[in-house]
Structure 1
Amino acid sequence: LLKPINGEKLRYRLVGIEFYDDRYCIVDTLTQSKAFEKAVELGLIHFLSNCSIVRRNPKYDSVVFDYMIKCGGDYAIVEVKSAEFRGSGNESMYPDCPSVRGRKQLMKLVELSSLGLKTYLIFLAAFPNPRCFKPYREGDVVIDELVRECIKVGVNVKVISMFMDRRGNVYLENTDLPLCSEWLSGNSQYY
């Protein structure tokens, strides 16, 4: 699925890849971000229903995150990761390759959460009907371990699923997709 753009070098942006039955995987992170922002604005994500985005790309030390939000009187840092990589068991996964930037962001979330700041790590499962989410250990073993550390120290690790149709309409499918039980128990095929 291509979206026309007025770029200097490119005329189109790849936003989606057909999955099945007029349902598309959202591969464009800008489209994912806009959909996430709209869902927050409309109060469609239950765990962020009383929140608003107050700043994009807040920086802590040298680490840039996606959002600073305000929920009631409290502020929180939010990092959103695109998880359109699909496993053989219909799992949504991240990352598909090593991510030094992702590692730094997760390490900083652990630090900020340990200091008492409210933090969120949100994975966007960007294809229809995923079963669950788990880190792709073969893509980056360190990210896998850092997601576990995030959970341990109290980072709010959440998973949202969404997809799009051929007209470019985005559908928020599930705002409470679970983490894969086999990953949580350590019985994943990647161990």
Structure 2
Amino acid sequence: MNIKENVVEAVFLKRPNRFQAYILLNGEEMMVHVPNTGRCKEILIEGCKVILREGNNDKRKTKYDLIGAYKGDKFINIDSQIPNKVVEEALINKKVLSLAKYDIVMREKTFGNSRFDFKLSNSKGEIYYLEVKGVTLEYNGVAKFPDAPTERGTKHLNELIEAKKQGYGAGILFLMQMDNIDIFMPHDDMDKAFGDALRNAKRAGVDVMGYECLVGEGYITLDKNVKCNLE
């Protein structure tokens, strides 16, 4: 998918809280919105080059969203609203081969006490619940999730297990918002409960999928499958 809004380069200065950052654009320091509640500490380092998306709402408090940054030569998209859009595009275009049999793609559907990102179905009456997690944490080709504790993520995994028990298809897709990833792993040092829940889900028959993206300053699209190591 292409980013339709105007994008510009800036220099990252600091991030006083989860939703705000200060950047330097054309010699002017200004506050921008950060559409990611994760820590991103290994990405948003003072002096790094960041990419801003210009907003088109005059009522906004900030003119720009900080949607990506360069970690050395690697560009990483950090917009937490992007993964579902990328995966929806991929599902419609049958790029997730294991889910290609599902023709109906619906967003934000409730199951039990959770709202899953997607409910997929087809003319045979088959139903599949899919949860998507955007991944921005990477070291030397190894991507990990989460980069901050996530009770909500663990809850989603337990609900996927329940969906599987009730006879539905169920899966979680980790979308790496970058390229050149060798392997994906749960980040046990950050949230062991999530890692254990992910392993339990895998044992219960929940599909665990990983994909990297083709990504640039003005575009991002689902690309290659990435091996998921849960050991």
* 1:42 is aligned to 2:97: no
1:25–1:163 CA contact under 8 A, matched in 2: no
Higher gyration radius (CA): 2
CA distance in 2, matches of 1:95, 1:107: 16
Question: 2:204 — aligned with what?
Answer: 153
Structure 1 residue 129: deviation in Å? 0.7
The equivalent position to 2:223 in structure 1, one of 164, 173, 177, is 173
Write out per-residue CA displacement over residues 141-174 of structure 1, whole angstroms, 9 at most, x where no aligned residue.
00000110111010011101114212x1224331
CA distance in 2, matches of 1:29, 1:71: 28
* TM-score (structure 2 length as normaliser): 0.71
Bigger relative CO (Cα 8 Å, ≥ 6 apart): 1
Pick the structure with more strand per residue.
Answer: 2
Residues 55 and 173 (structure 1 numbering): CA distance in 2 closer, same or farther, change over 3 Å?
closer
What secondary structure sits across from 2:201 in the alignment? Answer: helix
* 1:66 is aligned to 2:124: no
Identical pairs, percent? 24
CA distance in 2, matches of 1:148, 1:104: 14
Segment of structure 1 superposing worse, 93-102 or 4-13 = 4-13
* 1:27 is aligned to 2:82: no
Question: 1:92 — aligned with what?
Answer: 143
Q: CA RMSD in A?
A: 1.8
Once superposed, which parts of structure 1, at least 4 consecutive aligned residues long, lie more than 6 Å away?
A: none
* TM-score (structure 1 length as normaliser): 0.85
Letter in structure 2 aligned against 1:83: V
CA distance in 2, matches of 1:151, 1:57: 22
Structure 1 residue 97: deviation in Å? 1.6
2:83–2:132 CA contact under 8 A, matched in 1: no
CA distance in 2, matches of 1:38, 1:134: 25
Residues 19 and 53 (structure 1 numbering): CA distance in 2 closer, same or farther, change over 3 Å?
farther
Pick the structure with more helix per residue.
Answer: 1
